[in-house]
Structure 1
Amino acid sequence: MVTKVVFHPSQTTTLASASEDGLVCLYDTGVSQADEALACILNAESPVRDMTFFGAKGDGLALLTGSEGTSVWHWPSALRALDVEDLRQSAGSFNREKALFSIQYHYDQGTDRLRLALSDVEGSVTVVEVQPGGEMHPLLRLESGHKCLVRAVDSHNGTWVTGGEDARLCLWNEKEQEGQVNQSTAFDRKQKKGKKFAPHFQPY
């Protein structure tokens, strides 16, 4: 079953398709023959529920899985830069009392930042920057707007919008929320056998 489809932000004929079997296929939709249209296949090894292109050229692809895992890829070469089986363990230092669950990635082209939003069950959202070396640096916390888990988030020009299981939509000013979290943590990075890849979002 297909779980997500995303067009490339600048290569308008490039389409990424994710599925429950963990495979992400990238196609050139400008090619009519199906076999020739397939550009590459990535294996997240777990059902993919969300994905985001990122990087100045859009050659990065960040995936979130249904098991609270994540992986970051340089998709043109099909190389994995980062693989985390359970984000809840890696993100625990940002909120030691409550488990954090991933919502989605967001790429800010203006600052070239790949950001990940996470929510606890009481509706507080923590936004972290995911860096090439596998570290997560907290950027801001959005709290006191929701009463339960936040399921959707988006950002544009310093304004954030969140939507939760409490049926609320909240708007936030990024500048007013920055600096409320100050811990950093690092992903538990797994090396894939036979693949040596210096983790860098834009290796070319």
Structure 2
Amino acid sequence: MVDHFIFYMDRFTEMDSMMGKLNLCEKSAISLTPVEKEYILHLDIQQSSQATGSDNPLLASSSSNYSIRLFSMSNMATLKQINAHDNVISGIKFSQTENHLLFSSSWDKSIRCWDTRTDTKKPVQEFSGSDKNLLCLDINSSDSKLAAGTEASDINEVDLFIWDRRKSSVLVKYTDSHQDDITQVSFNPQKENILASGSTDGLVCEFDLTQPTEDEALFLTLNSRSSVAYVGWCEPKYNHIYCTTHIDTFHVWEAEEGDAIFQVTDLKEKLNDKIEYIVNYIGSTDSDDWLILGGTHKGDLSILQLSSKDEVKTLSTLTGGHKATVRCLMWDAHSNSLVTGGEDSMMCLWSNKPGSAPNEPKIANKLKMKKGTRKVQPY
């Protein structure tokens, strides 16, 4: 969203310092001269530890032309295009245990599974059962369950579906916990039966899928007081739930009792309108701070550190990559790299690898573009 990030405790020791050293390494354009720009809507990365025989995982992106593209994470080279759906793609997610499988959800009311080792002309598995558009997708840590939320019907009926991934069958459908579009679903990365959901009704719900009924499964209802954009779990212990909203507020709750841990509702004012929106949450450390990405509609980005002391610190600025609104991000802890995708049809790779900006002076909290940055037209 957003989506699960795999972080390691030792990588967070100096995370704020690391964020200040990111450089723009590669750019890939999914369309250079489009009649209508193809927005990049979602990103996901294979877990590097699962990338068989290689330390170069696949990066997947979905775009507004209903396709998915696969890239090499190391250099952003395009490897394959999947003509995945006949309507808007609402989520993509790599398998947690079989790294060659990629799942996608769509407004065409289906979830499809693609085997990246094949020609991907046909899905290897398909999940159905919804009579409404699917707006979000996630898969749990054991790959045993898929979750997706729907849009609301004319009479405010909205569904949260759970499928048995191996049998392609619906396990359960929850219908009473939300009253409007479900914008995000997110499994706890360490607890395969714990699921969080967010909705434009302002609610964030937490479910225990081992319980027999919806009333028993729903054990927390949290109120963001605004339409929810993204929901997920905060590192490193995944015992906090975060959400961002469509009016650019950010909230963190304790996941067992539902206590409010942190919220910021005036981020743009605190930064004197240097950012115009929140892209999404990036990660957090074992201390009381959270990293988020903010942006302007001209494409400039800022990595912000939010502190429980009600402080906002700009760790670094990312310029020279995008020229329009950034829609999505993905942080890869294995390579200490950030990938961003936007409405300018561009996907940018930001990394703190030594030498990524040769012959340029180091400037604290200011990102530099690598000399010779490539701009790729994949098709």
TM-score range, shorter chain: 0.7 to 0.9
* 2:190 equivalent to 1:14: no
Say if 1:49 and 1:170 are closer, same or farther in 2 by CA, change over 3 A: same
Q: Equivalent residue for 1:186?
A: none
1:35 match: secondary structure: helix
Question: 1:179 is aligned with what amino acid?
Answer: A
Q: Equivalent residue for 1:180?
A: 365
> How big is the shift at 1:178?
7.9
Question: 1:3 is aligned with what amino acid?
Answer: T
Q: Which has the higher contact order (CA 8 A, sep 6+)?
A: 2
1:92 match: secondary structure: coil
> How big is the shift at 1:137?
2.2
> How big is the shift at 1:92?
2.7
2:256 match: secondary structure: helix
* TM-score, scaled relative to structure 1: 0.78
Does the CA-based 8 Å contact 2:236-2:286 persist in structure 1? no
1:12 match: secondary structure: strand
1:77 match: secondary structure: coil
Which digits, 9 at most, give the CA deviation of each residue in 1:76-106, with x for residues without a partner?
111112232232112337x3xxx43100002
Q: Equivalent residue for 1:196?
A: none
Say if 1:82 and 1:126 are closer, same or farther in 2 by CA, change over 3 A: same
Residues 149-158 or 37-46, more deviating: 149-158
* 2:204 equivalent to 1:24: yes
Say if 1:109 and 1:132 are closer, same or farther in 2 by CA, change over 3 A: closer
Aligned-pair identity in percent equals 28
Does the CA-based 8 Å contact 2:288-2:307 persist in structure 1? no
Which sections of structure 2, spanning at least 5 residues, go unmatched? 1-180, 357-361, 367-379
Aligned pairs, number: 177
Q: Equivalent residue for 1:55?
A: 235
Does the CA-based 8 Å contact 1:140-1:174 persist in structure 2? no
* 2:295 equivalent to 1:119: yes
Does the CA-based 8 Å contact 1:139-1:179 persist in structure 2? no
Say if 1:21 and 1:117 are closer, same or farther in 2 by CA, change over 3 A: same
* TM-score, scaled relative to structure 2: 0.43
* 2:321 equivalent to 1:145: yes
> How big is the shift at 1:172?
1.0
Measure, in 2, the Cα distance between the counterparts of 1:3 and 1:49. Answer: 6
Q: Equivalent residue for 2:49?
A: none
Question: 2:253 is aligned with what amino acid?
Answer: W
Question: 2:207 is aligned with what amino acid?
Answer: Y
> How big is the shift at 1:143?
0.7
Measure, in 2, the Cα distance between the counterparts of 1:159 and 1:75. Answer: 28
Which of 141, 158, 161 is the matching residue for 2:336? 158
Measure, in 2, the Cα distance between the counterparts of 1:121 and 1:27. Answer: 36
Measure, in 1, the Cα distance between the counterparts of 2:302 and 2:187. Answer: 27
Measure, in 2, the Cα distance between the counterparts of 1:173 and 1:69. Answer: 27
Which sections of structure 1, spanning at least 5 residues, go unmatched? 182-204
Which of 40, 43, 54 is the matching residue for 2:220? 40
1:104 match: secondary structure: strand
Does the CA-based 8 Å contact 2:288-2:308 persist in structure 1? no
Say if 1:91 and 1:12 are closer, same or farther in 2 by CA, change over 3 A: farther
* 2:274 equivalent to 1:89: no
Which of 244, 250, 262 is the matching residue for 1:64? 244
Does the CA-based 8 Å contact 1:91-1:100 persist in structure 2? no
Which digits, 9 at most, give the CA deviation of each residue in 1:1-55, with x for residues without a partner?
2111100111111000111111111001122221111121101111101122113
Structure showing greater Rg: 2
Question: 2:299 is aligned with what amino acid?
Answer: G
Measure, in 2, the Cα distance between the counterparts of 1:112 and 1:7. Answer: 22
Measure, in 1, the Cα distance between the counterparts of 2:363 and 2:217. Answer: 43
Does the CA-based 8 Å contact 2:299-2:321 persist in structure 1? yes
Does the CA-based 8 Å contact 2:195-2:209 persist in structure 1? yes
Q: Equivalent residue for 1:136?
A: 312
Does the CA-based 8 Å contact 1:20-1:46 persist in structure 2? yes
Measure, in 2, the Cα distance between the counterparts of 1:7 and 1:147. Answer: 33
Measure, in 1, the Cα distance between the counterparts of 2:293 and 2:207. Answer: 28
Residues 105-114 or 51-60, more deviating: 105-114
Measure, in 2, the Cα distance between the counterparts of 1:118 and 1:139. Answer: 11
> How big is the shift at 1:110?
8.8
Say if 1:108 and 1:85 are closer, same or farther in 2 by CA, change over 3 A: closer
